[in-house]
Amino acid sequence: MSGNQERTYLMIKPDGVQRGLVGEIIKRFEQKGFKLVALKFVQPTEEMLQKHYADLSGRPFFAGLVKYMASGPVVAMVWEGLNIVKTGRQMLGETNPADSKPGTIRGDFCIQVGRNIMHGSDSVESANKEIALWFKDEELVSWQPADKVWVYED
């Protein structure tokens, strides 16, 4: 990665997969100009999810969250671009969809916090940790999109 490009981890949760929103979500990030560098469709284990959500392990909803997230397949993704962590979180909307603005993913497609269809890294540090948990280095594809000059200034 060059300059101030960064990577983030985004995951479409079981509710987003079951509702057929995968294509729409990917489309939004592609249209924004971000670059997809890794993607996998996976049925996560509870063990994997306990590692992923370790920072929430003391919260009363932790067991239910892990059980829910293990209830169906998810789409794990790594996206790259200028300020992708911050912008990606803005595109998702607030954790509680009731607080999300129209035009955000959660504002357009969600009603309750327990079915907010996506996870997005909240910092570059957590993104790096989550990417390493879900993907091997060789699964991250380094490539240059043909439209880069139309998205970024030199």
CATH number of domain containing 76 = 3.30.70.141
Alpha carbon of 11 to those of 3, 150, 151: distances in Å?
Answer: 25, 27, 24
The answer to the question of residue 150 being in a domain is: no
Q: Summarize the annotated binding site as residue ranges.
A: 13, 61, 89, 95, 106, 116
Banded pLDDT at 1 (limits 50, 70, 90):
very low
Q: What is the mean pLDDT of residues 97-113?
A: 97
Q: What is the mean pLDDT of residues 108-132?
A: 97
The answer to the question of residue 56 being in a domain is: yes
Question: Annotated catalytic, 119?
Answer: yes
The count of domains in the chain is 1
Q: How many CB atoms lie within 10 A of CB 31?
A: 8
pLDDT attached to residue 154: 75
The answer to the question of residue 125 being in a domain is: yes
Measure the CA–CA gap between 85 and 70, rounded to whole angstroms.
25
pLDDT attached to residue 123: 96
Catalytic choice (7, 35, 52, 119): 119
- Spell out the residues 6+ positions from residue 120 whose beta carbon is closer than 8 angstroms to its own: 8, 9, 10, 11, 85, 88, 89, 92
Residues of the domain holding 73: 3-142
Q: Summarize the annotated binding site for ATP as residue ranges.
A: 13, 61, 89, 95, 106, 116
**For the chain, how long is the longest CA-to-CA vector?**
48
Banded pLDDT at 3 (limits 50, 70, 90):
low
pTM for this prediction:
0.94
Beta bridge partners of 118: 12
The answer to the question of residue 118 being in a domain is: yes
pLDDT attached to residue 4: 64
Q: How many CB atoms lie within 10 A of CB 81?
A: 23
Measure the CA–CA gap between 124 and 7, rounded to whole angstroms.
7
**58-81: pLDDT as tens digits:** 999 999 999 999 999 999 999 999
- Measured N-to-C along each axis, helices 84-92 and 22-32 cross at an angle, to the nearest 10 degrees, of 140
The answer to the question of residue 149 being in a domain is: no
The answer to the question of residue 121 being in a domain is: yes
